[in-house]
Each structure stands twice: as structure tokens, then as C-alpha cells.
Amino acid sequence: MTGASTLARELRDTAQIVTRVAAGKSLASEFDRMAEEGSTSARGALIDLTHGTLRRYGRGQVIVGELSRHRRPDPPVEALLWCALYCLESGRYAHYTVVDQAVRACALLEKPGARGYVNAMLRGFVRQRKALEARISAEPEALYQHPQWWIDVVRTCYPGRWEDVLAAGNSHPPMCLRVNSRRTTTSAYGEELAERGMAARQVAEHALLLERPVPVERLPGFPSGKVSVQDAGAQRAAQCLDLAPGQRVLDACAAPGGKAAHILERCEVGLTALDADPARCAQMERNLDRLQLRASVRAADCTQLAAWWDGAPFDRVLADVPCSASGVARRHPDVKWLRRARDVPAFASRQTSILEALWRVLRPGGKLLYVTCSVFPQENDTVTDAFVASAPDALRIPLPDAGPAQWLPDAVHDGFYYALIEKKA
């Protein structure tokens, strides 16, 4: 728990990050920027405050609007109020502590004239909380904490489960481990965790779901590559690729490398891993080094074949394509602020281009696994169905794990979509 003496500074830093995210910056880039600037705020506290605040899309905005009679304050002050409201509702701090530290944060934000306003707004929330809850319950964005267009899409596509999908997007994500089968067994590693007082249950072949998240440095054998952190939904990729020793395998959008590493842990294959961002390629190589795994890592746009492909076809292609990330919003809560309805067809167009390019590098008889971390069908079945219909040598086949294509986010895993397409010989 953050001490009251540091809460004002952390509220300031969080408000600055949230202001930039609300203006269109990504949360990851903001943390990178703060690291470069040598911020003294504790990273763990900032992650909690930023993620907690950003997950509550709509709620903070509506509450501030109700209390201020819909007169919007300056963006940094409004963001500070959203952060303070999250602190008040988290139950971690006394009300007077949050109010006092938020008022102090005004000066740190160079907004000393807002102190009285922030004090009045937060005290008003504490006094009127029950009445406010009743008023905002009729506001879908405040109730479901997602943009209205997102709510509409999910409600239309999943009429029996839409509220569960949205609720999962607002929850704390589970922490799942991927046990390195080259180093140990899943059951043996589960026993190691139990010996250290960390309860976990097996949810897939190499997946252990922790009862409570822990810092990675507490995981036995993490530095030496015995285990990695990877969602159970993401671990489907290596299994659904239908791997065999000696195959040439392409991971076309590979960074940060979790799926690539799992492929190499499961099977002796020749792996080429691409990513368009050189910095992310460097990160991927560091992750592979930790696991003592080797791949040919290339910084390249997978659709620009002349820049990276030597003409030798691949037996398996993993197309983990860029997408809306709507299935992992709880891990990346800034996507609820950054995405627009128009982005979804734009992603679908890019995904189609990637499929068409990668199909050319797959040998006849080979298999391509199309993957997104999206729950929007326009990026999933719509893309794959149209591609298969347009390519006479493409055949969609059942997934090797016999599971459904779409996994919706729940208490065990995030939301992922998988489609396996075979190239007719």
C-alpha cells in the first residue's frame, strides 16, 4: 500500500499519464517515457493507479460531470479527479487521506488554483455517493465502463454473455505461468510453488494459474528460464500450430516473443521470428536468451516479402496479427480510451493484407494459424471466412485442441481467437 506521504506525488504522476492517454498516447509509451526521464515514483504504485483509473472508462467522467454540473475542468485536474475517485472507491485509504493528498497534488501539477475545487468535488462525492450511484446507473458507459460503441458491438455479437465479457474487461487479469517443458514438468513446478507458499492450479498442458499474483522475481527459476508469464489463452498458439520436429516455422508478428518461445519449448523446429520494430526484436532476443532458446529474429514488415524471405516455403506460419486488443483490455486498459469504432475495419483491412502476404510463403500442405486477441468478429471470423472464400487452395480445418475458435475473457484466460487454415497440396 502506498503511504500517504507519497500518495500526492503518485497522484500527480498518474494524472499526467492519464491526461496523455486520454489525449491519444499509449500507456506503454508513457511508462517508457517516465523511465527515460528517471521518474522517482514507484512503478508498482503507478501501474496500480493508472490501470485502476483507466479500467473505469466512463465512470469517472460521468461522476465528475454530475458533481461539476457538466462543466469540465482543465484536463490535468479532471484526470486527477478520476485518479482520486479510484483511490476513494478502492477502499485502501481513508477518505480524508485521499482528499488531502489530491489537494496537495494540485500544487505538484502546477494547478494551485484548483485546490478548492478538487477539495469540494471529492468531499461532494463522499457525501453524495449513494445518490450519485443511483443517477449514473442509467449511463451505460459509467455502468459498464466501456465506450458506447464497444458496448453495442459486444451486446450484438454475444447476446447471452455480453455483460460477462464487459465485466471481465474491467477486472484484474489473472496471472498465469508457462512452464518450460525443456527444463521441468508442470506438476513438478507446481510443487515448487507450493513449497514456497504460492498456490496454483494447472489449467492447460504447460499452464499454471496462480491463486494470487506475485512479482516475477519470486518465481523459482525465472531468471534461468524455467518458467515464463503468459496467459493461458495465448498458450493455445503453440498447441494449435500442429508442430512436428524439423519443420520450418514462421512467427510473423512475434514480439515480445512469448508464443515464439513456447513453440521452441514444445518442439525442435527451425523458427524465424519477425517484428517490424527493431526495439521489440531486441526485447524478443533477450527473452529467448533467458530461456536459452534460439531463433532467427528479423526486424521486418512481414508483408514486405522481398525484405526478409529467401524463397524457401514454411511448413507452419503463425499470424498473430495486430488487432484492437479488445480481448485483453483488462491488461491494457488504455485501449478503451484509444480505440474508435472506425479502427476495427481498419484493423480488418490490415489483417487481410497480412494473411494474403503470408499465404505466399506457406508450402502446399502447410498450415497457417491466424490469431487475434480480439472479441470483435469483424477482425476474426469475418476476416478468415472472406479469405478462405477468396483463396481456392485454402481450407479451414478444426483446431487440434478441439476447442472453439473464440475464447472470451473470463477468470482463467483472456479473450483470443484462433483459426487454422490448411493450404491444399
**pLDDT one-digit tens code per residue, 269-319:** 999 999 999 999 999 999 999 999 999 999 999 999 999 999 999 999 999
Report pLDDT for 41: 62
* Range with lowest mean pLDDT among 30-34, 40-44, 150-154: 40-44
Do the Cβ atoms of 75 and 22 come closer than 8 Å?
yes
- Please give the class, per CATH, of domain 4-145: mainly alpha
146-172 per-residue burial string, b: 16 or more CB within 10 A, e: under 16 = bbeebbebbbebbeeebeebbebbbee
Do the Cβ atoms of 258 and 178 come closer than 8 Å?
yes
Q: Do domains 4-145 and 176-229 have the same CATH topology?
A: no
Find the mean pLDDT for residues 163-188.
97
pTM for this entry: 0.94
Find the mean pLDDT for residues 213-224.
96
CA atoms within 13 A on the CB side of 177: 32
Predicted confidence (pLDDT) per residue in 381-399, tens digit = 999 999 999 999 999 999 9
Please report, as a single letter, which amino acid is at residue 286: R
Do the Cβ atoms of 227 and 206 come closer than 8 Å?
no
Quote the CA–CA distance of 321 and 311 in Å, as a whole number: 22
Q: Are strands 362-372 and 314-320 parallel, antiparallel or unpaired?
A: parallel
At 179, phi and psi to the nearest 5? -80, 130
> Is the model's pLDDT at 187 over the cut of 70?
yes
Report pLDDT for 5: 62
Q: Which of 253, 267, 323, 373 is catalytic?
A: 373
Indicate the fold that domain 236-423 takes in CATH.
Answer: Rossmann fold (3.40.50)
> Is the model's pLDDT at 36 over the cut of 80?
no
- 176-229: CATH superfamily: Sun protein; domain 3 (3.30.70.1170)
Quote the CA–CA distance of 290 and 265 in Å, as a whole number: 12
> Is the model's pLDDT at 1 over the cut of 50?
no
User: Does the annotation mark 373 as catalytic?
Assistant: yes
Percent of the chain with pLDDT over 70: 98
Quote the CA–CA distance of 42 and 346 in Å, as a whole number: 37
Local confidence band at 94 (pLDDT 50, 70, 90 cut-offs): very high
What is the residue extent of each domain of the chain?
A: 4-145, 176-229, 236-423
Q: What share of the chain is helix, strand, coil (3-state, %, to 5)?
A: 50, 15, 35
> Is the model's pLDDT at 333 over the cut of 60?
yes
